[in-house]
A and B are shown apart, each in its own frame.
Chain A
Amino acid sequence: MNVLELKRVSKSYGSFLAVDDVSLTIEKGAILSLLGPSGCGKTTTLRMIAGFTAPNSGSVIINGSDVGHLKPYDRNVGLVFQDYALFPHMTVFQNVAYGMKYRGIAASEIPARVARMLGLVRLGSMEGRYPRELSGGQQQRVALARALATDPQVVLLDEPLSALDAKLRLELRLELKEILRSVEATTIVVTHDQEEALSLGDEVVVMRDGRIAQRGSPTAIYNDPADRFVAEFVGRSNWFNAGNWRDAANGFVNYESVAGISICGQAKPNTSGKVDLCIRPENIDVLAAGEPATMDENTMPGTVVDVAPLGADVHIVIDIDHGPRVLAIQKSGSQRTSFGVGQSVRIGFSPADVLVF
């Protein structure tokens, strides 16, 4: 059953269309990531669900009833703000208890309930502290506990991890997911961080210029992006411009790129003229000058510009002869990482890994 449904929702500010005819559904207990660059309309969408912004047209439906006319306090939507918005003059206990009295929870029940919420986010011993006495990660968890404390129908997280440092972000991401799963919260996570979106969401919605560019599972978004924008925004990518194609066979064709480079990839039925070819860096093999390529792999010669060992992966930057600069990501420990800067190499990638737009 759909807990939340947006039906053809639009919002404009003056002549600027912030959200343009967006329709969305989310099932009970699911986590949906709303991903996009700043200004794509994801925050406006979130504010319309919460009730801070009224749509110009379309409807917001929660559990079957249209809530478009309801004030934020008459909807039961839990919100975790980017800056957490913890009340600085209240203790952790008071922060978490704040919503309970307005949502009609009996005063006698509140302490036990707060304790349960704080247990859930593993802050059981902190209830007497003030927000300023907590670390960033602890504040984030208090904000989550406060939002979940009133059993909201929908939980909205606005860039929940962006204020934390990289290491903490990874830890909390997992924890956040576990907590949301354990209380079966129906959740929308708004973020511009693709890793966060892909790792938290059961499904990902990519937004661009107020519209939905693509909706799909994290795997589908990455492996089968709908257009060049999604491919560029999610993950890293190498690009070749190509023109005419020839020699079609078995669904594959040879695309002519710059300076006589020919790239074999999947045929695109309605292709006419120019196409953009995208190859993910982890799909590129770096081969020493004499090393043979796998059968029917695309290969092209180039020169190593940079080798950066980044722990598990090694990032190798290569200038293709007469072509663009590409990034190849190789697993550390494989023999394909021992290249020196200036060395002549070849790159190889399978036609199946070429995304054609």
Chain B
Amino acid sequence: MTLVVGLIFLLTAVFLILPVVTTVLMAFDSRDYLGPFPPQGLSLQWFDKLWDEQYLWAGFYTSLIVASAATLISSIVGTLAAVAMSRMTGAARDVLSSLFLSPLIVPGVIIGFALLMLFSALGIGSPLTRLIAGHLVITIPYSIRMALIGLLGVKSSLREAALSLGANEIQAFLTINFPLAKSSIAAGAVFAFAFSLDDLAISLFLSDFNTFTLPVALVGLLRSSFDLTIAAAAVGLMGVTLILLLVLDRTVGLDRVVGLSVDKA
């Protein structure tokens, strides 16, 4: 029994991690073409190429702006909604919560396609506003969910204690509920940022030739020239992921992420 589980564990670990390791190794390949694994020598040439790849950098800057704006807006909007929801009865809260999480089961392509039709019908929005609006659809659910988990974790007796000590509703929220739910709200922001940064399906519809996000740029490269500049970019993105992970671990602790944040249902 244990042996079988051990074997499954090992194979899965290899299956999940091997591609990442392969990519890192290939990023340092000294050949100037994409040759068979393993690399024959090491060099930083692909990182040099990445440095000069204006197309990817333009996408990266746009992505940073879009992800930051979407994260900021959805954290505020999501927290406000979560505050209202945290004060509702269980049944009303469940209905609203599944409604607000529903964007997560709609395929991104459909959201992007439908939004594109809306925006062109109304004839509004610069590409940047369109992208930010589109990303809000997928970031707000995470912000609401994490803020709600955080706020529900604050015992109601704490708020009542503050009220009985003379703080009014707003003062009690700002000095008690908000500080105690802060780390959960921050985790929601990390999720929002990560998923905005990684979105392709929605961005593809809302980008144009001048304003596009990093995944749109990357997928363009992937489909045109499958060379190792992308491996170098991948190594860079792994660094970004690592930073997000550490932020998440510092704010809520990765242990608490288990079973609550990724569970879409």
Contact = CB atoms under 8 A, between A and B. Distances in A.
Q: Do chains A and B touch in the complex (CB under 8 A)?
A: yes
Interface string A57-88: 00000000000000111001111011101111
A131 to B, nearest CB: 11
Interface size class of A (residues with CB under 8 A): 20 to 34
Interface string B192-212: 000000000000000000000
B163 interface: yes
B65 interface: no
B165 A98 contact: yes
B251 to A, nearest CB: 14
Interface in B172-192: 175-176, 179-180
Contacts of B162: 87, 98
Contact of A73 (B155, B168, B179, B180): B168
A79 B160 contact: yes
B158 A102 contact: no
Contacts of A102: 165-167, 171
Question: Which of the listed residues B161, B162, B163, B171 has the most CB atoms from chain A within 10 Å of its own CB?
Answer: B161
A85 B154 CA distance: 10
B157 interface: yes
A146 interface: yes
A103 B157 contact: no
A167 interface: no
B161 A73 contact: no
Contacts of B179: 89
Contacts of A79: 160-161, 164
Nearest to A97: B165
Contacts of B168: 71, 73
B166 A103 contact: yes
A82 B160 CA distance: 12
A81 B157 CA distance: 7
Interface of A: 50-52, 71-73, 76-79, 81-83, 85-89, 98-99, 102-103, 146-147, 150
Given A52-B163, A98-B167, 6 more contacts: A50-B160, A51-B163, A71-B168, A85-B158, A87-B158, A150-B165
8 contacts: A73-B167, A78-B164, A81-B157, A82-B157, A83-B157, A85-B157, A87-B162, A102-B165
